[in-house]
Amino acid sequence: ADLLTIAIDGPAASGKGTLARRIAAHYGLHHLDTGLTYRGVARALLASGQPLDDVAVAEAAARALDLAGLDRGVLSAHGIGEAASKVAVMPTVRAILVDKQRTFAATPPGAVLDGRDIGTVVCPKADVKLYVIATPEVRATRRWREIEANGGDADYAGILADIKRRDERDTARAASPLRPAEDAHLLDTSEMDIETAFRAAKAIIDERL
Ligand code: C5P
For the whole model, what pTM was predicted?
0.95
- Whether the pLDDT of residue 63 is over 80: the answer is yes
- Cα(202)–Cα(208) distance, rounded to whole angstroms? 10
Which value, to the nearest 10 degrees, does the dihedral of the CA atoms of residues 160, 15, 101, 123 take? Answer: -110
Q: How many beta carbons lie within 10 A of that of residue 158, not counting itself?
A: 12
Please report the atom of ligand 1 found closest to the CA of residue 114.
Answer: 21
Residue of 45, 85, 163 to mutate, ligand 1, most atoms within 8 A of C-beta:
85
Q: For 133-172, how does the pLDDT look when each residue is reduced to its tens digit (9 = 90+)? A: 999 999 999 999 988 998 989 899 999 999 999 999 999 9
Residue of 96, 112, 116, 123 to mutate, ligand 1, most atoms within 8 A of C-beta:
116
- Whether the pLDDT of residue 124 is over 80: the answer is yes
First to last CA, the chain: 14
- Cα(189)–Cα(196) distance, rounded to whole angstroms? 9
- Residue 79's pLDDT band (boundaries 50, 70, 90)? confident
- Whether the pLDDT of residue 1 is over 70: the answer is no
- Residue 78's pLDDT band (boundaries 50, 70, 90)? confident
